[in-house]
Structure 1
């Protein structure tokens, strides 16, 4: 069942309860993420019980949520999710943008993503994340795969100024066990992952949770494979009209994390020592 088929089926209902309206609205807003959803978390986010969701799906002709997820997943396998698919699509459907308008359009796209992201963030979630990141008893790990790797590396480089024991994890399955051997319940993982989600990052977040560690997630969809394992989750918009999605809102949130870490009081000696090392190794030219 694709999204349009879902909408058509719902529109054929003679009547709706208030709960069914909430379910339908949520499904339409997050349709591509439903194959990743777990029913308990999904019901919690919508604000309905499992029995209510089950009755709604039965009205659509499904035996339950598992059957519905499978049909949605089978259909979404055909959607445009990769850069090469977008390339092939745009080759046959030329964009209306011109080089003269591209800069202004990209600026507006970026502003829209940042506005929508920060309007949806919770101050309490941010404070909770900062408390975890400043917890110096354990290590602060950071991980991002594919395009998320740039955000993870950026966070790591600046966070090293601000606290000790920041560890950048590389998504290399052959060496990842070596990097994780000392993880304890006092440690925190900042995981950054956009759809299509990295299988390595999914396994890492789940493993960290099973070890008793804490997970902070930055992602682009509220329904995702990580949600059950995270202490705090941040949703960042990444809509983009070209071959690639827009990561500007993610970078803006990472910079907010860095500003939060900057409130840490024991940073002066670290700044001096890092700058001294730059001079020692002649890293920069004046």
Structure 2
């Protein structure tokens, strides 16, 4: 049973195994350039996927919509949310702000985001992504965007301690091609990209995939266009009563990945951490209370 706050992409993924071959072909077509790919007429959507119009009608009903118009209305609402800027998001929230204190409202929203994100998480995909990141035979590259670069830097700092060959790609469009020179087939590129998706990040993903890299994407519930090139996609809920989106769920997932990679690489990681602590002691970076 779909959750009321599920996106159409969520519903497509949840229903995928129960769809017919033609419906799966349609679902894949819609997800490739989601949500814009579903905004044409029922005929153009069908033609783009190479299926019949009755197939489109049947699939949207399987997703819980009365018909194609209701399906498209929901897509338009998602698109509006996807492209809205911080000022627009704040104005929308302020009009329906409840009387409860912001501490309670914000915490409740974040808690809901975590619950919904974890409820839709694919443990097999999570385990497979962690296995890729723990494989020291693969190089790991990490990149974020205007807002997510802080999370990318945090993730990189920890991964660099856990294992060798980890690189943080600068979030500057004219700098990342230099890093791409080093990416080899089988390497892992971790990308963080949330709404107001960046064109340079999409191009980086496209070119990294062409070089044979494995792409692990951390994104929002509307799914970055990078998802079309990703081997593993983790969609996190980010909406809160603020002009800004929340990074709490993304941070939770990143820290969980760090914990699992640490577990898988512990014998080597322990040696690296001991060597690092010895360097800290010798440089006297940190005070010791002994």
Q: TM-score range by the shorter chain?
A: 0.7 to 0.9
Moved more, 276-285 or 252-261: 276-285
Q: What do the CA deviations read for 1:217-261 (whole angstroms, capped 9, x no partner)?
A: 111135541222111111111111211112111111001100111
Unaligned 5+ segments in structure 1 are 1-17, 40-47, 62-67
- Per the alignment, do residues 53 and 112 of structure 1 end up closer, same or farther by CA in structure 2, a change over 3 Å counting? farther
Moved more, 177-186 or 78-87: 78-87
Residue in 2 aligned with 1:35?
36
Residue in 1 aligned with 2:52?
51
Q: CA deviation at 1:86?
A: 2.9
Unaligned 5+ segments in structure 2 are 1-18, 41-48, 59-66
Q: CA deviation at 1:113?
A: 0.6
| Whole-angstrom CA distance in 2 between matches of 1:119 and 1:90 | 25
8 Å CA contact 2:131, 2:261 repeated in 1: no
* Corresponding pairs, count: 241
Equivalent residue runs for 1:17-96 within 5 Å: 33-35=34-36, 50-52=51-53, 56=57, 76=79, 81-87=84-90, 93=95, 95-96=97-98
Q: Do structure 1's residue 193 and structure 2's residue 196 form an aligned pair?
A: no
Residue in 2 aligned with 1:279?
281
| Aligned-CA RMSD value | 3.6
Q: CA deviation at 1:78?
A: 9.4
- Per the alignment, do residues 90 and 123 of structure 1 end up closer, same or farther by CA in structure 2, a change over 3 Å counting? closer
Q: CA deviation at 1:97?
A: 4.2
| Whole-angstrom CA distance in 1 between matches of 2:39 and 2:163 | 36
Q: CA deviation at 1:33?
A: 4.5
| Runs of 4 or more above 6 Å deviation | 36-39, 77-80
- Per the alignment, do residues 226 and 90 of structure 1 end up closer, same or farther by CA in structure 2, a change over 3 Å counting? closer
8 Å CA contact 2:93, 2:241 repeated in 1: no
